[in-house]
Structure 1
Amino acid sequence: MNAVKEERPEYEVVRSKRSTADIVLERDGRIVVRAPESVADEQIEKIVDSKLHWIYRNLAEWRDLNSTRILREYKSGEGFLYLGRSYRLKLVAEQAEPLLLKNGRFTLRRDLVESGDVELAKAAFREYYVARGYERISKRVEYFAPKVDAKPRGVEVKELGHRWASCSPLGELSFHWKCMMAPQTIIDYIIVHELCHFHHLDHTAAFWNEVDKVMPNYRERKEWLKVNGAGLDV
């Protein structure tokens, strides 16, 4: 009896100056093939075909994890994450800042919710995480960079879509504001992961060996992010 050949899923190809090709399942469920500039489309198809079982297994895991995504409401008592801990929300009538974290609670200006535009409340959280994230992540990058022997040229915290972090060709690091919802140990893993890309652009054994040198328990942190990443949202 002949085995049924699995259908090749849709995928995106990103070519860059790298030596090997690898396949990544992004946080939004997209399949991305990162490949050297010289690799032909036909060769990429062969690479995808050789990894079909891995792709479909990880897509199934992604769907399971995202089925439990938390939808938060902007009302008093709702929990919002900061550095891995959940803080209850309290709507307040008057406050100079749109959002503050004080006395063990997030306090959000009530008018941002009563306007009926939930994006105003979401923006308040994003801006809070960006501001606190820049300060905290910059210090941790400064701490880990010498250990990895990397010399980043700058740090930015912003909206990165489906990526937790990225590095520009000029060596400027960017981190997703949602990183600030994770525990500090996970933020440190994301930082070390990105710094190690200064030496290896792909995710070969050599790259993970570099991560292991600085963070021997990185596998636990990587798994935590895989399982809990979908819940890091406002």
Structure 2
Amino acid sequence: MKSASASGIEYSLIRSRRKTADIVIERDGQVVVRAPEAVPADEIADIVDAKQFWIYRSLAEWRDLNATRVLREFRDGEGFLYLGRAYRLRLVSGQEQPLSLRDGRFLLRRELAESGDPEVAKAAFRNYYIERGRERIGKRVAYFAPKAGVSPISTDVRELGNRWASCSPDGRLAFHWKCLMAPLSIIDYIVVHELCHLHHPDHSDAFWNEVDKVLPEYRQRKEWLRVRGASFDL
């Protein structure tokens, strides 16, 4: 990944085997341009310049959406998302697992919340989402892969920074653990999105046509994720 700028816009450039250039605003507000290997840098700068109105508008929308980001605290009664539903947190003593979900509540070992380091409690949630996600998302990939006409090599759930998911050129899928905070319908959209990248690594019309074949209502789910995705955090 290289840094560059055009028309006063700072962006990161990622080159890959894709056929067309694509500009995205990542979840941290970073502008990322993904482009084919053969496209010259000055041509990419021209593409960014031509899209500057869209980029500035998208960045303004990103700032508005992130202004409502929820900062959660690891204390009794705080709400944490799982599969689209908010569950209240209860700190407990004597529980073997760091975190469990029982009787409509997240139960977190008290010493993790009171350790003085919030990263300890965050790790318990991340590990919970990763463990559950590998099974649940794996099943959704297995369900949708034949419908998309593809055969991914592997599926994993892990930390992916500012990306909801990724698809490697050899067919390895990875999903951010934060996907487990979304409703199942949104998880399905993310799964189908990545599966269709096995047909087209870019976001061309041909790619979206593949998504539409599997999920004709994908636009509503895509917009839901764009608007509410900022709340999927710890």
Task: Provide the TM-score with structure 1 as the length reference.
Answer: 0.96
**Cross-structure match for 1:21:** 21
Ranges of 4+ aligned residues in structure 1 off by more than 4 Å: none
Q: What are the Cα deviations for residues 167-218 of structure 1, in whole angstroms up to 9, with x where unaligned? A: 1222110000000000000000000000000011111111111100110110
Give the secondary-structure state (helix, strand or coil) at the position aligned to 1:230. Answer: helix
Give the secondary-structure state (helix, strand or coil) at the position aligned to 2:112. Answer: helix
Aligned-residue offset at 1:93: 1.1
**Cross-structure match for 1:171:** 171
8 Å CA contact retained: 1:74, 1:121:
yes
**Cross-structure match for 2:45:** 45
Q: Distance in 2 between matches of 1:81 and 1:181?
A: 5
Q: Does 1:77 align with 2:77?
A: yes
- Equivalenced residue count is 229
Question: Mean Cα displacement is larger for which, 23-32 or 97-106?
Answer: 23-32
8 Å CA contact retained: 1:134, 1:155:
yes
8 Å CA contact retained: 1:21, 1:34:
yes
1:1-234 to 2 correspondence within 5 Å? 7-234=7-234
Q: What are the Cα deviations for residues 36-59 of structure 1, in whole angstroms up to 9, with x where unaligned? A: 100111100100000000000000
Aligned-residue offset at 1:7: 3.7
Q: What are the Cα deviations for residues 66-96 of structure 1, in whole angstroms up to 9, with x where unaligned? A: 1110000100000000000000000001100
Q: Distance in 2 between matches of 1:187 and 1:224?
A: 11
What value does the CA root-mean-square deviation take over the aligned residues?
A: 0.9
Q: Distance in 1 between matches of 2:79 and 2:217?
A: 29
Q: Distance in 2 between matches of 1:22 and 1:160?
A: 19
Gapped runs of 5+ residues in structure 2?
Answer: 1-5
Amino acid at match of 2:161: G
8 Å CA contact retained: 2:76, 2:90:
yes
8 Å CA contact retained: 2:13, 2:34:
yes
Give the secondary-structure state (helix, strand or coil) at the position aligned to 2:15. Answer: strand
Aligned-residue offset at 1:19: 1.2
Amino acid at match of 2:127: E
Aligned-residue offset at 1:225: 0.3
Amino acid at match of 1:28: D
Q: Distance in 1 between matches of 2:111 and 2:49?
A: 53
Aligned-residue offset at 1:8: 2.7
